[in-house]
């Protein structure tokens, strides 16, 4: 069986693709801009619940928020 490893966060890329900002996304999902910055800069991993909220706003899938590596 393969192991799946979560890599670099792609939140900045997805925010740019959606034509919005971290501040605007933070307002829409009810998290602070600092929290989004922590995720986007790989200081923290976002929860699945946060990923789902982000994806609903940005129109992407949860697996689009990170690079994934299969070992």
Size (the chain), residues:
71
- pLDDT-derived band at 2, boundaries 50, 70, 90: confident
Give the residue-averaged pLDDT of 11-19: 97
- pLDDT-derived band at 41, boundaries 50, 70, 90: very high
Residue 54 neighbours by CB distance under 10 Å: 25
Which residues does 6 contact at the CB level (< 8 Å), separation at least 6? Answer: 45, 66, 67, 68
Domain count, the chain: 1
- Which domain, by its residues, includes 14? 4-70
Q: Which domain CATH number covers 54? A: 1.10.260.40
Give the residue-averaged pLDDT of 1-22: 94
Q: How far apart are CA 39 and CA 13, in angstroms?
A: 12
Q: For residue 47, is pLDDT > 80?
A: yes
Q: Would you say the pTM of this structure is higher than 0.75?
A: yes
């Amino acid at each position: 069986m393969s192991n799946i490893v979560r890599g670099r966060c792609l939140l900045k890329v997805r925010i740019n693709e959606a034509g919005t900002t971290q501040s605007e996304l933070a307002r829409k999902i009810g998290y602070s801009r600092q929290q989004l910055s922590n995720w986007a800069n790989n200081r923290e991993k976002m929860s699945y619940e946060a990923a789902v909220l982000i994806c609903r706003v940005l129109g992407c899938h949860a697996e689009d928020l990170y690079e994934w590596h299969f070992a």
